Amino acid sequence: MFLPEHRKALLEQRKAATKITPPVLDEQQWEMISYIIQEALEYEQPILATYVTTYEITDFCGFVDKIDTGKKYIQLSNGSQIEKIPFHLLVDVTWP
């Protein structure tokens, strides 16, 4: 039997242990990601972006709508779904 405070602390500890931190990409990986994003924007081709959310690695396939270098994110759309993905959360970008 747990006290409510202990149960809450245990749940928070388990949740914190499952958090995923984005990997640090090297310069060559960033160049390839940048190249694919630019090509997809120019030729209106879809891309598959793999990125980190708080607790999992997620994929989103869509067309590049916007590259915001000031706010450091790309915006992808797939029909009515729109996803803004910060650059620092990207793991990989490929052709589908």
Residue 1 has what pLDDT? 64
Residue 29 identity: Q
Long-range CB contacts (< 8 A, 24+ apart) of 31-38?
Answer: 32/93, 33/90, 33/92, 33/93, 36/93, 36/94, 36/95, 37/64, 37/67, 37/74, 37/93
Tokens of 32: 């390839």
Residue 15 has what pLDDT? 75
Per-block average pLDDT, block size 10, for the chain (96 residues)?
Answer: 78 78 92 96 96 92 95 95 96 94
Residue 92 has what pLDDT? 96
The SS3 assignment for 34 reads: helix
Residue 91 has what pLDDT? 95
pTM over 0.95: no
Right CATH for 22-94 from 1.20.1260.10, 2.30.30.100, 2.30.110.10, 3.50.50.60: 2.30.30.100
What is the residue extent of each domain of the chain? 22-94
